[in-house]
Structure 1
Amino acid sequence: MSGDITPIPTRWVGPLRLTGDVEAEQDVPLATYESPLWPSVGRGARISRLVADGIRVSVIDERMTRSSLFVAADAATALRASRDITGRFAELAATVSAQSRHARLIDVDTEIVGNLLYLRFALTTGDASGHNMVTLAAEALMAQILGWHPELSYGSISGNYCSDKKATAVNGILGRGRSVVVDILIPADLVRDQLRTTAARLVELNVRKNLVGSTIAGALRSANAHYANMLLAIFLATGQDAANIVEGSQGITYAEERGDGDLYFSCSLPTLIVGTVGNGKDLPFVDDALTRLGCREDREPGENARRLAGLVAATVLCGELSLLAAQTNQGELMQSHLLLERRSETSR
């Protein structure tokens, strides 16, 4: 390996004001070739500072999963084994705890297809995203289960019911990574002056574009404009596994008009896979970014990763809000792109 590094333009945007499960007023780094993303997220960040509660963060759940595949002679054999295995949860949990001081087994979900038995193990993994941690745990669990049930045979350490880096329904339903909901209530005058639109027009666009448009396109548990843009930019800047934007971008944008033209706006991200320790986190630029983000503090295991997840979700909201507002005005999106991209070119 040559050790070459591919440079990606990076800017810190903000600060964003967060309240709720994450309390912060914090700039965020965005690594992207799409230069209009910086001022777009910046507009959402500015609004967050003009609203008393800022962007409220609610961390709903956290878990990392690995599904292991076993093969039985027939469905009846698979079912008997499945019932016995799930009934011995405490023994499985003890095996996981023995593998790592941070890994904890919290759930086992099963599926039987013909003679195939899928076990989906869910673990909490502290501040790590947990990919390797759950695989290590699954290896130990498979050995234990095959010892209990010699009538089963090994199928695969990962049976795709996890589901890792693929657009699936199971992750949104059962959870994978951090499940985070962020929302904001924007007074009517700020909607008019900062977003150059109205709550009614933005709500209507969200229904027609994100909800109906995504449905007729066949979207899978997903109804948003461009979560992937913000996710990729902040993932690259903070040393995350960028392939996890596949499931991470499966989220839902929801909006309501309230009171006399106020805008309630939310983004739900049920599969936000981020970590502050582990592979890639020791790179100098990553360490610097996580330190500046306040994600290298001496906290209880999991707290730093939760803070990062809240910052990532809030960044998504800022960019989503700004783009949808622009699309309520004919011509504004393209005009903004041309203006900002030309300005970026001349400044180089």
Structure 2
Amino acid sequence: MDSAQLVAGVPMKWVGPVRISGNVATAETEVPLATYESPLWPSVGRGAKISRQVEQGIVATLVDERMTRSVLVEAEDAATAYAAARQLTERAEEFDKIVQTCSRFARLINVRHEITGNLLFIRFEFTTGDASGHNMVTLASDALLSHILQTIPGISYGSISGNYCTDKKATAVNGILGRGKNVVTELLIPRAVVTDMLHTTAAKIVQLNIRKNMLGTLLAGGIRSANAHYANMLLGFYLATGQDAANIIEGSQGVTLAEDRDGDLYFSCTLPNLIVGSVGNGKGLDFVETNLTRLGCRDNREPGENARRLAAIAAATVLCGELSLLAAQTNPGELMRAHIQMERKNETQRIGA
């Protein structure tokens, strides 16, 4: 067999549908999750079922979007580096024209910098249409770096990637400055639904969220993150939709917020570094094309709209799984029973086959 044709198969199921509204997507859609962790499917499914008990469903608000790449240049001293940095801010319009020669969709929206000693770290921020934009912004940054070295005196090449982006690493800078889509999801669940479908109370979930997600993560030294398991839902969704799976490292840095509103549960998940795209690498596979089409992310829209819709669906999927898990963990033994039942059932089916 030609090794180029080998594919690693990961079990996938569609769960839901999830009801979503907000400023970039209004939909009721099933979502695909590719995972070896089979209890994830019914867990997300339970959250999806709860979303349909509320008229608006999960409200997903796109707060910001940008893709970044940082480059590194070297100066003789800090004063020279600072003089170069001042020119960067003043010449943003000129730099954007260079970016537009590299791509039809990339646009430079900001330039930031950090000086350490004689080193100047430059962080370029772009919009990238429907692509997640990794290659697009690297190509644009390479062109910008060449232009800067030719037109700004006193600096020399350091690296095309200076790690101030930051790509596929858990850092604070992305949550502060943004990288990818910043999406906030919210769901207000009536008391009766919390009791009947989650088998818990708003007060218990609020207390667990504070103690586990916030205090527990603080004690563990978490970086701009307070959640139970965003990475589970993101990885499953990323693998099913052709995303760069390594981006769950920064993508899973997010904050869960829960409030008891007279017995009703306000539940929110904020994902400031959600990196997704509906075009680009990984999207040419048949199953990915099928999944994106079924999600409504292949419709003829303005550039960027398909990726924004995809981000809203991904973030809503995260909320479904986060809500279900926290509810389960308020009840002793519930989480382990679900895992044992699902995994033993799957093992029996595998052996029987």
Which bin holds the TM-score, normalised by the shorter protein? over 0.9
Q: Which residue of 2 aligns with 1:7?
A: 9
The match for 2:72 among 61, 69, 74 is 69
SS in 1 for 2:31: strand
Distance 1:334 1:220 in 2: 28
Q: What CA RMSD, in Å, does the superposition of the two structures yield over aligned residues?
A: 0.8
The match for 1:209 among 202, 208, 212 is 212
Q: Which residue of 2 aligns with 1:37?
A: 40
Q: Which residue of 2 aligns with 1:101?
A: 104
Unaligned runs of 5+ in 2: none
The match for 2:287 among 282, 285, 299 is 285
The match for 1:80 among 65, 79, 83 is 83
Distance 1:248 1:43 in 2: 23
Matched, 1:56 2:75: no
How do residues 257-276 of structure 1 correspond to structure 2 at under 5 angstroms? 257-259=260-262, 261-276=263-278
Q: Which residue of 1 aligns with 2:312?
A: 310
Matched, 1:190 2:190: no
Distance 1:130 1:165 in 2: 14
SS in 2 for 1:50: coil
Cα distance, 1:143 vs. partner? 1.1
Distance 1:11 1:138 in 2: 39
Cα distance, 1:347 vs. partner? 3.3
Matched, 1:28 2:34: no
Cα distance, 1:180 vs. partner? 0.3
Cα distance, 1:343 vs. partner? 2.0
Instruction: Give structure 1 regions of 4+ aligned residues with deviation exceeding 6 angstroms.
Output: none
Cα distance, 1:254 vs. partner? 0.3
Q: Which residue of 1 aligns with 2:303?
A: 301
Unaligned runs of 5+ in 1: none
Counterpart residue type for residue 292 of structure 2 = L
Q: Which residue of 2 aligns with 1:112?
A: 115
Distance 1:6 1:167 in 2: 27
Distance 2:177 2:266 in 1: 27
Distance 1:50 1:85 in 2: 51
SS in 1 for 2:71: strand
Give the percent of matched residue pairs that are identical in Structure 1 and Structure 2.
66
What TM-score, normalized by structure 1, do the two folds share? 0.99
Deviations 1:253-294 (A, max 9, x none): 0000003x0000000000000000001101111101101110
Deviations 1:185-232 (A, max 9, x none): 000000000000000000000000000000000000000000000000
What TM-score, normalized by structure 2, do the two folds share? 0.97
SS in 1 for 2:130: coil
Cα distance, 1:150 vs. partner? 3.4
Cα distance, 1:327 vs. partner? 0.2
CA contact (8 A) 2:88 2:111 kept: no
Distance 2:130 2:93 in 1: 24
CA contact (8 A) 2:256 2:268 kept: yes
